[in-house]
Amino acid sequence: MKIEEGTVRVFDTTLRDGEQTPGVSLTPEEKLEIAIKLDDLGVDTIEAGFPIVSAGELEATKLMVKQGLRASVCGLARARQEDIDAALDCEVPYVHVFIATSEIHMKHKLQMSREQVLEATTKWVDYTKDHGVIVEFSPEDATRTDPAFLSQILEAAESAGADIINMPDTVGTATPESMFQMISRAVSTVKIPISVHCHNDFGLAVANSLAGIRAGASQAHVTVNGLGERAGNASLEEFVVALHLLHKKKTGVNTRLLYETSRLVSRLTGVPVQPNKAIVGENAFGHESGIHTHGMLKSPLTYEPIDPELVGRRRWFQAGKHAGGHGLAAKLAEYGLHPTMEQMKEITRRVKEIGDKGKMVTDADLSAIATAVIGGVSEEKKVIDLKNITVVTGTALVPTCSVKIVVDGKEYIAAETGVGPVDAAIRAIHKIIGPLADVKLKEYRLEATTGGSDALAEVLIKVEDRDGNIVSARSAREDVVLASVEAMIEGINKTLIKSRVRAARD
Ligand code: KIV
Ligand code: ZN
């Protein structure tokens, strides 16, 4: 296998190791949807699955092969005939064969001697290679394997025809220093390319992968959002961006598609991305502190090490108790609100007061405060307003909602069904708003602020417009459907006002 100097191959294992995340299981169609996205993203290899595991894995791998993707589709196999045959049966051009080589695994799991593992390495790499496919070989638990024995294994795999050797840190116990040493030794033992596969048990997967690359590895196994067994694998987005920006190395990945790929994987796997995760977390490009916001408004270089657009994101500012007048003023300007210095001081004081009560200040809260302080502001007039709402639900009925909404002074009525009354209500609003504005519900959070069945339901939402602008809104009521609808209407209003102000300015 030839790899261009200065370029690193990205081997994506979201659909294999990533799918081994506890609780994650994808249908063949969902796997195909993710594979198409990964192909657009520009990864070199897609590990489609472990074909011996189930009929679904086999079908998913076959679907990906048939799709004719640009990336190589790879199937995983233990060093045994039935696994390798299952992968070959999918007509993959690339098979990843592995066998454990650490004393712990050989004794407790395989019950095989070193000689037997060496023999199996030669036999099954040779067998796979005989079928004319690319063979990647992994000595599982490499980082806990005796270095001298590991070298013997690598030599055996190379002699048997392996095209590339992958070095797994199966339980994530490597450090950047030990990884550097192990990969340096591997690179000087064999002539074929070396790859790294790092797990995140100690939170070091990306750092270890980068150390492996510095030591001479030319490929890394990664997963979208860092999914994978236990604490996961090295995260694709963090690894690629660090490699490009900090190590000045190239990959085939189009970083502008990282965020949307992350969202798709999160949606289909049901695994949320932690808000403070690098690159793809919601807060990765959000600023709240007054000092930071002030600096950012002067020059993004002050507190932004990565241009958000490079990874398909936008920067945003949060109103909150840490925010200063500059940040809040910039945020209000987005809604066409321009308070005086005196008014700004009062708005900032009220925002901090809410923050000190431990509450989040939404965009709707901020402009409501500003409107109250400034007095009536023409742009602040609602674009849409809820006139009335009727909901029916029950065990013998499909939850149905009808709404009457006024948009720019004109009345619209729509009815929709849903999985529950809130879903039906949101769908009914969308039926009216959809043709007028491209706004989608991005996040919905329901909290009961008091105990008991008459508890106040607090709904916090985020809506996103076509250009990726996100607006947050909240409502609190005893009736959860009404709270949801009001929050949604608030969010849509804010989005529409914001885009109209922008359009008038441009
Ligand atoms: O972590 C690991 O060792 C693996 C192997 C199958 C390569 O995922
Ligand atoms: Zn793994």
Most confidently predicted of 166-180, 275-289, 303-317: 166-180
Of all protein residues, the one whose alpha carbon is nearest to atom 5 of ligand 1 is 140
Of all protein residues, the one whose alpha carbon is nearest to atom 8 of ligand 1 is 17
Q: Is it the case that residue 109 has pLDDT exceeding 60?
A: yes
Dist. CA 92–CA 303, nearest whole Å: 46
Supply 320's token pair.
């909150």
Atom in ligand 1 nearest the alpha carbon of residue 100: 3
For range 430-454, the mean pLDDT: 77
**CATH: 3.40.50.620, 3.40.190.10, 1.20.1250.20, 3.30.160.270. Which one for 379-505?**
3.30.160.270
Closest CA to 98 of 183, 198, 167: 167
Ligand 2 centre distance from Cα of residue 31 (Å): 18
Q: Sheet with 400-407: list strands edge to edge.
A: 384-392, 400-407, 410-417
pLDDT score recorded for residue 378: 46
Atom in ligand 1 nearest the alpha carbon of residue 140: 3
pLDDT score recorded for residue 335: 81
Q: DSSP for 74-101?
A: EEEEESSHHHHHHHHHTT-SEEEEEEE-
pLDDT score recorded for residue 176: 98
pLDDT bucket at 440, cuts 50 / 70 / 90:
confident
Ligand 1 centre distance from Cα of residue 140 (Å): 6
Q: Which residues contact 354 (CB under 8 A, 6 or more apart)?
A: 321, 361, 365
Taking CA atoms, 283 is separated from 232, 272, 286, 318, in Å, by 21, 13, 5, 10
Pocket test for ligand 1, best of 15, 106, 124, 138 (most atoms within 8 A of CB): 138
Closest CA to 48 of 65, 24, 25, 29: 65
pLDDT score recorded for residue 495: 84
Percent pLDDT > 90 in the chain is: 65
SS3 405: strand
Q: What b/e readout covers 302-341, taking b as 16+ CB neighbours within 10 angstroms?
A: eeeebebeebbbeebbbbbbbbbbbbbbebbebbbbebee
Cβ-based neighbour number of residue 342 at 10 Å = 9
Burial grade of 29 (CB within 10 A; 0-12, 13-18, 19 or more): exposed
pLDDT bucket at 377, cuts 50 / 70 / 90:
very low
Distance of CA 40 to the CA centre of its chain: 16
pLDDT score recorded for residue 450: 55
Ligand 2 centre distance from Cα of residue 320 (Å): 41
pLDDT score recorded for residue 17: 97
* Backbone angles phi and psi of 303, in degrees to 5: -135, 20
Assigned CATH topology for domain 9-269: TIM Barrel (3.20.20)
Pocket test for ligand 1, best of 84, 170, 194, 233 (most atoms within 8 A of CB): 170
Atom in ligand 1 nearest the alpha carbon of residue 20: 8
The predicted model scores a pTM of 0.79
Per-chain mean pLDDT for the chain: 91
pLDDT score recorded for residue 458: 75
| Strand intervals (E) in 349-399 | 384-392
Q: Tell me which residues have their CB closer than 6 angstroms to ligand 1.
A: 17, 98, 138, 140, 168, 170, 197, 199
Q: Is it the case that residue 459 has pLDDT exceeding 90?
A: no
Phi-psi region of 408 (alpha: psi -120 to 50; beta: other; left: phi over 0): left
Cβ-based neighbour number of residue 13 at 10 Å = 29
Of all protein residues, the one whose alpha carbon is nearest to atom 2 of ligand 1 is 170
Pocket test for ligand 1, best of 21, 74, 98, 141 (most atoms within 8 A of CB): 98
pLDDT score recorded for residue 453: 67
Q: Is it the case that residue 115 has pLDDT exceeding 90?
A: yes
pLDDT tens digits along 165-206:
999 999 999 999 999 999 999 999 999 999 999 999 999 999
Most confidently predicted of 27-36, 282-291, 324-333, 431-440: 27-36
| Domain residue limits, the chain | 9-269, 286-374, 379-505
Task: Note whether 194 and 205 are within 8 A (CB).
Answer: no
Task: Note whether 348 and 329 are within 8 A (CB).
Answer: no
Closest CA to 487 of 370, 319, 358, 365: 365
Supply 173's token pair.
């116990």
pLDDT tens digits along 409-430:
889 999 999 999 999 999 999 8
Taking 3-state DSSP, the helix, strand and coil percentages for the chain, each rounded to the nearest 5, stand at 45, 20, 35
Task: Note whether 223 and 265 are within 8 A (CB).
Answer: no
Atom in ligand 1 nearest the alpha carbon of residue 76: 6
pLDDT tens digits along 318-370:
888 888 888 899 889 888 889 999 999 989 998 888 888 887 788 878 887 88
